[in-house]
Structure 1
Amino acid sequence: MVRHEIPAGPAARPRAARPTRGGAVDSRRLPRYAAGEIAVPFVIATAAEAIDRDTFWEEHSHPTHELLWNERGASWARIGGRVWTVTPTAGLWIPAGAPHSGWAPAGTLHRAAQFGIHAVPPLADRPTAVATTPLLRLLLDRLDSEGLDAPARSRTEAMVLDLLAPAERELTLRIPESPLLAPIVAAVRGNPADTTTLAAWAARLGVSTRTITRAFHAETGAGFSRWVATARVQHAMALLAGGEEIDEVAARVGYHSASAFGAAFRRITGVSPGRFRAR
């Protein structure tokens, strides 16, 4: 099996685990590299890791372009003010040198591919969602197989690069940073089942509902209800990818019925919860 050392890759040595409500979390501190700061001997190098407990990667950056996807489960990457959802069918392209952090729950089978900038032009100059189709995943798997000679590897790499394309949808959540919205963001992201209404938040914060709505639109491009629905769906994707039943997931993210949850899920992702879990 061909293996390359990938600078600051997902298998870097973790720091000591820190306890949380759900148990121990692997918190990993990785280096920050500028694009091309370290020369790499490969065009594409792949890696896989079975995440056996909740894992957090502190903010870091690679000298290579990176493609993240999962063979099993859903995870998240934060880049600037956005949180991206990564699943088996929705990957994430991160340009070389772009600072990012990540989170993967226990049970995730995490995949990553590093692309040498000397040989691979960037798919985009910003983080970009990528549709990780079955064919693309098979080709990336082939690069990690034993007995692949140089000509076969070059052909496979060329096909991978030919298939890389931005996805039609981005599974992202913009995180507002204003002090006004901070309590709402903390409550919803900490407990997606929180059902505090816009009117209740306005009363609690001593402002009008209009002020909160304007602030959400200014910082995220979405209103309060849309932002909360997106945060809930993003959390639900990880639960569904972990095999939980749709009715249970609906309740855990604040919906009183599976039908209401399904409608919200389709609006955000374009597919039903059942289809997403099957994929």
Structure 2
Amino acid sequence: MSSSVDFSFATRPLVPYAHDYRHGDSEPRHHHNCAQLVHTLSGVVRIETDLGHWIVPPGRGVWLPAGVPHALQMTGNVAARTLFVDPLARADLPASCQVVQVSPLLRELIVSALALPESYAPASRAERIYELILDEIRVMTELPFSLPEPQSEALISLCDALRAEPGESWTLENSARRINVSSRTLARRFYQETGLQFSDWVRRARLMEALARLARGDSVLTVSLDLGYESQSAFSAMFRRIMGVAPSDYFPPAS
């Protein structure tokens, strides 16, 4: 994340880095000449790139290939553990931005890497940990926490409006009328430009907004109604289906 980290890969294939952020902290658009895996222990990180928006809930991670310009916004107190990875360390590192599942093994390996020396002997424990981290990065599971950006001006405007007012009625028919096309044309063009069905994009946008609002302390009921759900139970069912737990368990109220 931070541009102040030493990115010398002369003696090791990756550089681990730990940094905590306060609610509302941000980093302006920048890029690195190395790849990044940002793993969050708490709080929510929003990443913006030219290709789309990603949101990283607690316990997950985001992979950013080398050279991708990105900006970050923190919601809640974010404890981040980052790996800066030599893009030449492996030939088959992920080639695209993606939010990923961080396995318990990878999480513990990242913690261990923070205490490793920069230089190490061949076949040493340090070398084995670094190599195992690279093995785990190669098999990370991608998660549906991204919002790919369309390319046409009309669809960009529609998506901006949706993000600004996620609680409005964003049916395919209503949305098509907003940009003066048929619902069939909107459905076709939207899938062509984003790779997602329009309804899936709307669902993801609402989930990403919900994660940010819950991380800053909004109640589940308030988030449910603000995002256009008929009831708290309907929102909680959607959240549980995607996240695996109820929103009250994922972001427990502060004691």
TM range (shorter): 0.7 to 0.9
For residues 158-197 of structure 1, the aligned pairs below 5 Å read 158-164=131-137, 165-197=139-171
CA RMSD between the two structures: 3.2
Q: Provide the residue aligned with 1:89 in structure 2.
A: 59
Q: Which residue of 1 aligns with 2:97?
A: 127
Query: CA-to-partner distance for each residue in 1:212-263, whole Å, 9 max, x for gaps?
Result: 2222222123333222111001121223345544323222322121232234
Change (3 A) 1:118 1:229: closer
Q: Secondary structure at the match of 1:247?
A: helix
Match of 1:155 among 128, 131, 134: 128
Q: For residue 155 of structure 1, report the CA deviation from its aligned partner.
A: 2.9
Kindly indicate whether the alpha-carbon contact (under 8 Å) linking 2:42 and 2:79 is maintained by their aligned counterparts in 1: yes
Q: Are 2:237 and 2:246, in contact at CA under 8 Å, matched by a contact in 1?
A: no
TM-score, scaled to structure 2: 0.79
* Equivalent AA in structure 2 for residue 113 of structure 1: L
Distance in 2 (alpha carbons) for counterparts of 1:87 and 1:55: 16
Deviates more, 1:66-75 or 1:103-112: 103-112
Unaligned runs of 5+ in 1: 1-8, 14-35
Partner of 1:5: none
Superposed CA offset, 1:77-102 (max 9, x none): 23442222223332122222233333
Measure how far apart 1:167 and its partner are.
0.5
The alpha carbon displacement at 1:51 in A equals: 1.8
Q: Residue 209 of structure 2 aligns to which amino acid in structure 1?
A: H
1-side partners of 2:106 and 2:249: how far apart? Answer: 18
Partner secondary structure for residue 248 of structure 1: helix
Task: Give me the whole-angstrom Cα distance separating, in 1, the residues matched to 2:88 and 2:177.
Answer: 56
Distance 1:215 1:263, change over 3 A: farther
Deviates more, 1:96-105 or 1:180-189: 96-105
Identity %: 28
Partner of 1:136, secondary structure, is: helix
Equivalent position of 1:50 in the other structure = 20
- Cα deviation for residue 53 of structure 1 reads 4.1
Structure 2: gaps (5+ residues): none
Change (3 A) 1:66 1:262: same
Distance in 2 separating the partners of 1:191 and 1:180: 17
Residue type matched to 2:204 in 1? T
Letter in 1 for 2:160: A
Q: Please identify, of 192-201 and 91-100, the stretch whose mean Cα deviation from structure 2 is larger.
A: 192-201
Asked if 2 retains the 8 angstrom alpha-carbon contact of 1:266 and 1:272, the reply is yes
- Is the 2:240–2:246 contact (alpha carbons within 8 Å) kept by the matching residues of 1? yes
Q: Measure, in 2, the Cα distance between the counterparts of 1:242 and 1:135.
A: 29
Matched, 1:102 2:67: no
Amino acid at match of 2:140: P
In structure 1, how many angstroms separate the alpha carbons of the residues matched to 2:37 and 2:116? 21
Contact persistence 1:93–1:123 (CA under 8 A): no
Corresponding residue number in structure 1 for 2:238:
264
Contact persistence 2:43–2:76 (CA under 8 A): no
- Give the partner amino acid of 1:158: E
- Report the equivalent of 1:205: 179
Q: Which amino acid aligns with 2:97?
A: P
Q: Which residue, 115, 124, 134 being the options, matches 2:85?
A: 115
Q: Deviations over 1:139-186 (max 9, x none)?
A: 211222388994442232233223222305332111223222233211
Match of 1:237 among 207, 211, 219: 211
SS at match of 1:184: helix
